[in-house]
Amino acid sequence: MDAIFLQILNGLDKGGAYALIALGLTLVFGTLGVVNFAHGALFMLGAFCAITLEKILTISMKVKDESITFFDAYKEQPYLEIWFGDFGTTIIDWSVPISILLAIPVMLLIGLVMERGLIKHFYKRPHAEQILVTFGLAIVLQEIVKSFFGANPIPSPAPEIFSGSAPIGVLLGLGESVVYPWWRLIYLLFSGIIIFAVFAFLQFTTFGMVVRAGMHDRETVGLLGINVEHRFTIVFGIAAVVAGLAGVMYAPILPPDYHMGMDFLVLSFVVVVVGGMGSLGGAVAAGFLLGILQSFASMNEVKAIIPGIDQIIIYLVAVVIILVRPRGLMGRKGVMED
Amino acid sequence: MNMPLLKNDWVIMAIFTVAVLTAPLWLTPVGAGYPDLMQKFAIFGIFAIGFNLLFGLTGYLSFGHAVFLGVGSYTAVWSFKLLTMNVLPAVIFSILLAGVFAVVIGYLSLRRSGIYFSILTLAFAQMSYNLAYSVLTPLTNGETGLQLTMDDPRVLDGPVGQGLPSTQLFGIEMSGYNGFYFCAVMLILGFFISLRIFRSPFGLKLLAIKSNQTRMKYTGFNTRPYLLTAFVISGMYAGLAGSLMAVTDPLAGAERMQWTASGEVVLMTILGGAGTLFGPLFGAGIIKYFENIFSAMNDGRLHEIFAFLPDWLENIVVAITGEFVGEGWHLTLGLLFMIVVIFLPGGVVEGIRRASAYVKGIFQSSGDKDVALSAEKE
């Protein structure tokens, strides 16, 4: 029982990341009809927003190390610590959460520029060409990041107070062995909040209503005198922000490197397909579902029965879904059911 | 195109054969005349030609073709390990096994079209890649890659003397120029088959599927067997390319199956021109050539090239171009690829066609003027 509960928890945080990326992907597909292979790169850029801010905050100068008295020793001390003392140290410690503030405008800008500069010209082109050009863009983005930050993963720790594990088992009365890293719990909460916010935005605002109507029947909405294109551009920006935020908060869990976007992209495409192309609820449900499924498949007991299942389970599910029920778990009938 | 001679397939084949076999002569002036690179040209040329038979003719974009490349390599190395160092059985087994894989993957994937097909092939490729790295380690030797060892059985060759044996074709060692000529012959054969397919009723049916599959179905064609045949042939080409990689360098690693490797062949085909006879070859050649030149460059070499500029300008230019060469070669590739997809979806071949039409247009209009002038004089 404990073990099963633990596996579900383990799957949830990864599932949260899948869900967030897939949400943006399917949002873009549902509104703009564009298959965006560069979406994983946006996730990666978000993670590197966190790295960049940390680098900026820890710009240091050489100061004399007072603790060593035998000889003149120097150490690097960040300006923030010199100027603000303990408060500066705290800011540096909290750099990952703070970089959310940086990531929102930056990712929004990147998203808007991408849509206006490139994606806009590909609405009328076949899916294959959309895939190809965004694939090219993904390569370019990750190579730019590589040339700035190098090829190695860069660890970026979460704030000190979140470093341990949460005694979830004790809280829920399940047993001592059920523990769960605080930061993953935070990530789970965070992804829940973002998903909720996106849905609320689409459900309860006029803007969201127009977007939903546009997803359903773009032409009619256009005929009503509403500038759909304009709204959809903003939707692309929002999708970029969602992917970016998923990346920022994921940085402490997985040290970001330049090709993490590609790794997640393939998986999130699978998630989108399993959930149903263009279905937002499906993307979220499938994200968490596949996350949990993967974590169950990597249990030793399961691996003993079917060796290698943990490596292929997600793809296997995707293959079965596409072959048996191509519109996915929650896809609308008739959408991409070819 | 008023040259009926160039329309004759046998003339095309003859010119192509001569061009490939004399490649060491005409590639040397541009610095690509050494066997290692020419082998790569030929191997990736075969890979791209095969991919083009699927994508160019039917429009089905497979993102998992690297699986067959990997299968081909592994099979060839196993053939070297178990049977003999002769390359012929290795090549034949590789093609056959890649074909078997292609039948299975193609049968399932071709039940869907468009982006679903792409994702299905991608999913199969990722599965194979992940399995090759983990559970199938006894077969693939995991991260280390499959290599020849001293105590391989090699039942047909008998015991070896000193050192690892090298691949051979009835005694001729497959290294250097011999290796290249073996690949070149395979390339010529592959190109010939592809030419015949392009010209055959079968090829026309594939093209018809690309332009309007629904109509094909309504006219009473069951399109799936045709698609599956194209997929399998294309997979066999990839298997051949994979086995040739093992022939020229007898080891095989799982990274050959990664989806970025599938992406590379897509790049080559698009860059050269999908659906054209020569396009994929151009694409493979261009990418491998510039990869070779660009990734070997460094700042020192750049300083030499831009030495004619004033010093301050030289430093700036070198700093900027330095991002695009050496390690940054993939950046150049990505940019190049985007530019081609955006402005020239037909690839290099399309570019040549447009350029020649433009040149012709200039001559024609000036010719018209001459006629008009002479008419005025009269």
Task: List chain B domain ranges.
Answer: 33-258, 353-378
Give yes or no for a contact between A336 and A289, defined as CB atoms under 8 angstroms apart. Answer: no
Closest CB to B131: pick one of A127, A277, A311: A311
**Does A147 reside within a domain?**
yes
Residue A169 lies in domain = 2-53+100-324
Contact by Cβ (8 Å): A170, A153: no
**Number of structural domains found in chain A:** 1
ipTM attached to this prediction: 0.80
Closest CA to A20 of A211, A193, A195: A195
CB spacing of A269 vs B119 below 8 angstroms: yes
Q: What is the token pair recorded at B323?
A: 């991002």
* Rounded CA separation B328/B110 (Å): 37
Is pLDDT of B4 > 70? no
Please indicate, yes or no, if residue A232 is contained in any of the structural domains: yes
Buried/exposed B143-156: b ≥16 CB within 10 Å, e otherwise: eebbebeeebebee
Q: Which residue has the higher pLDDT, A198 or B171?
A: A198
Looking at residues B24-40, what average pLDDT do you find?
79
pLDDT digits (tens, 9 = 90+) for B61-109: 888 899 999 999 999 988 888 887 788 888 999 999 999 999 999 999 9
* B103 vs A: CB within 8 A: no
Residue A95 lies in a domain: no
Q: What is the mean pLDDT of residues B167-193?
A: 84
Asked if pLDDT for residue B369 goes beyond 60, the answer is no
Query: In the prediction, which pLDDT does B101 show?
Result: 93
Q: How many CB atoms lie within 10 A of CB B119?
A: 25
- Comparing A276-280, B318-322, B374-378, the range with the smallest average pLDDT is B374-378
Q: Does residue A316 sit at the B interface (CB-CB below 8 Å)?
A: yes
Per-residue pLDDT of chain A (338 residues; tens, 9 = 90+): 677 777 888 888 888 888 999 998 888 888 888 888 889 899 999 999 988 888 888 887 777 777 777 777 777 777 777 777 777 777 777 888 888 888 999 999 999 999 998 888 888 888 778 888 888 898 889 888 888 888 888 888 777 777 777 777 677 766 667 777 888 888 888 999 999 999 999 889 988 888 888 888 888 888 888 888 888 889 999 999 999 999 998 888 888 888 888 778 888 888 888 888 778 888 899 999 998 888 888 877 777 777 777 778 888 888 888 888 878 787 776 555 55
Phi/psi class of residue B347: alpha, beta or left (left: φ > 0; alpha: ψ in -120 to 50)? left
Q: List chain B residues with CB under 8 Å of A140.
A: 331, 334-335, 338
Pick the closest to residue A109 from A16, A199, A244 (CA basis). A244
Tell which wins on pLDDT, A303 or B244: B244
A238: how many CB neighbours lie within 10 A of its CB?
24
Q: Residue B1: pLDDT above 50?
A: no
Q: How confident is the model at residue B370 (pLDDT cuts 50, 70, 90)?
A: low
**Residue B130 near chain A (CB below 8 Å):** yes
Select from A129, A147, A262 the Cβ nearest to the Cβ of B331. A147
d(CA B58, nearest CA chain A) in Å: 12
- The fraction of chain B above a pLDDT of 70, given in percent, is 92
Residues paired with B2 in a beta bridge: none
Residue spans of beta strands (DSSP E) within B128-260: 146-147, 168-169, 172-173, 251-252
Q: Does A33 lie at the interface with B, CB-CB under 8 angstroms?
A: no
How far is the C-alpha of A243 from the C-alpha of B5, rounded, in Å? 57
- Number of Cβ atoms within 10 Å of the Cβ of B362: 9
Whether pTM > 0.90 for this model: the answer is: no
Non-local CB neighbours of A289 within 8 Å, separated by 6+ positions: A15, A274
CB contact under 8 A, B114 and A308: no
Mean pLDDT of B10-20: 85
B119/A270 CB distance under 8 A: yes
Q: Are the Cβ atoms of A136 and B135 closer than 8 angstroms?
A: no
